[in-house]
Structure 1
Amino acid sequence: MAAAARNIPRTLARWLGKAILWFIGLSLALVLIYKWVPVPITATMILDGKVWENGLTKDWESLDNIDRNLVSAVIAAEDGKFCSHNGFDAEAIAKAAARNAQGGRIRGGSTITQQTAKNVFLWQGGGYFRKGLEAWFAFLIEQVWGKRRIMEVYLNVAETGIATYGAEAGAQRYFGHSAARLTRTEAARMAAALPLPKQRPVVNPSGFTRRYGNMIAARMGVVRRDGLDSCVYE
């Protein structure tokens, strides 16, 4: 009996080791597959109640068929250092931590890489465990995919409206035409709504969403001038 009790920690450690190896192997396999294969569905889509009510609308498009205005807009809105960081923006994370320590609404410091890792492989919501997994997948996709593929996947799996996912489905929903020809204003308004697409109107926005969209449109000029999207088009 005593011998069996002593073996319990060893057995648990062995199972834990196997579980970790299986997780590493599976995560590497998925990252390698999605380097070339379109992501068919994500946990966010499956868990979206509006998808079950209205049906899922999504269309995968190559980055070649998505207007550069939208790439510039999401970089201007979400991650100005996208082309210069390794997946993590230490300064943004530190600023978010300082704001969160003061109380109020929790703010994140996530990069486009981190958001892509979360959207593709994980689930929405916080928690240190999920953030740890997010960091692991963000590291992997930076090493395996590269910036262009990260941007392509991000723009195809991001929620762009009610039960609507991806740039193409969003452009068709709001403007009645392809994401291949978005004006600067259209792209800026889509980017302004990205954090809360169920709540922020893209067509005829008002108040904060309109002001934020105008600010993004102005920043897009800086993105182009300073080559902040150059890593996507090397």
Structure 2
Amino acid sequence: MKAFGRWCMLMVCALLCLQVFFALRIASMNVIAPESTSFERSQIWQVLTRHGHLPWRQEWVDRAQISAQLQRAVLASEDSAFTQHHGIWWDSLEKAWAKNEKAKAQAERRAQRQGDAKPVEAKIVGGSTITQQLAKNLFLSGERTLLRKGQEMVLTLGLEAFLSKRRILEIYLNSVEWGEGVFGAQAAALHYFRKPAANLSAWESARLAVMLPRPRYFETRPQSPYLAGRAEVIVARMNDVALP
């Protein structure tokens, strides 16, 4: 029992040390931009495996060099309550949970009707805020476990505690994926529209914002009717969004 107690104590100490490391790393982002994220590093290997070389596009630019239109479009599409919450939007999480449970039940009923032994996998809805997405991309893997989700929430609260909303949005826009090997607003603007992020129009910004949940999918389907239609919706909503 004593050995088990010591093991538990060591695990707790290791977990606390990890949280201190995360806190120091986040605090440093006030003055030092992250060179890469955990998600980017995982994608580097996948891109190398597929292509044999690294077609990588990323260029950090200050928030002032990113079109306000793009900032508004991303908030309108991904997190319209960004300036109102403290990192976690509980109403959105509850709605996402209910949606996932409904989708799971429908998939199970479908499988029963079809006589499948294995249920059809349901599409999972996230309900994450921009701060949560940034926390996950910066530090965590893509696995879906309760432990990882708990760590994501701790990191989210840390980002909100140590960084301003303006800085969180700046880091997010410079590190989010916009296609295979395309990361950040500047790289996306140059890749899709051959212009810097500062010069993006409202419609161009909306199209980029709509791509965010599935950037590699829409990169190969530029004429998607959904992409065009959803972009029009985002353009109409952009002026209702408050920038930090």
Shared fold (TM-score greater than 0.5)?
A: yes
Deviation for aligned residue 1:139: 0.1
Distance 2:15 2:73 in 1: 38
Distance 2:27 2:202 in 1: 34
1:1-234 alignment to 2 at 5 Å? 6-48=1-43, 49-50=46-47, 53=51, 54-102=54-102, 103=104, 104-201=122-219, 204-223=222-241, 228-229=242-243, 232=244
Residue pair 1:60, 1:166 contacting (<8 A) in 2 also: yes
State the one-letter code of the partner of 1:157: S
Distance 1:220 1:202 in 2: 26
Q: Which one is further off, 39-48 or 135-144?
A: 39-48
Structure 2: tracts of 5 or more residues without a match = 105-121
Deviation for aligned residue 1:51: 5.3
Deviation for aligned residue 1:21: 2.2
Residue pair 1:45, 1:51 contacting (<8 A) in 2 also: no
State the one-letter code of the partner of 2:47: K
Deviations 1:80-103 (A, max 9, x none): 100001111111111001111112
Residue pair 1:161, 1:198 contacting (<8 A) in 2 also: yes
Structure 1: tracts of 5 or more residues without a match = 1-5
Distance 2:85 2:40 in 1: 28
Distance 1:57 1:85 in 2: 32
Deviations 1:35-73 (A, max 9, x none): 221111112112111255333211111101101011100
Q: Which residue of 2 aligns with 1:3?
A: none
State the one-letter code of the partner of 2:177: E
TM-score norm. by structure 1 comes to 0.90
Distance 1:66 1:36, change over 3 A: same
Across the aligned residues of Structure 1 and Structure 2, the Cα RMSD in angstroms comes to 1.6
Distance 1:219 1:202 in 2: 26
Distance 1:140 1:180 in 2: 30
Distance 1:59 1:203, change over 3 A: farther
Residue pair 1:189, 1:202 contacting (<8 A) in 2 also: no
State the one-letter code of the partner of 1:25: V
What SS does structure 1 have at the residue aligned with 2:216? coil
State the one-letter code of the partner of 1:186: E
Aligned residues: 221
State the one-letter code of the partner of 1:42: T
Q: Which one is further off, 123-132 or 171-180?
A: 123-132
TM-score norm. by structure 2 comes to 0.86
State the one-letter code of the partner of 2:75: I
Distance 1:123 1:156 in 2: 19
Residue pair 1:174, 1:203 contacting (<8 A) in 2 also: no
Q: Which one is further off, 185-194 or 7-16?
A: 7-16
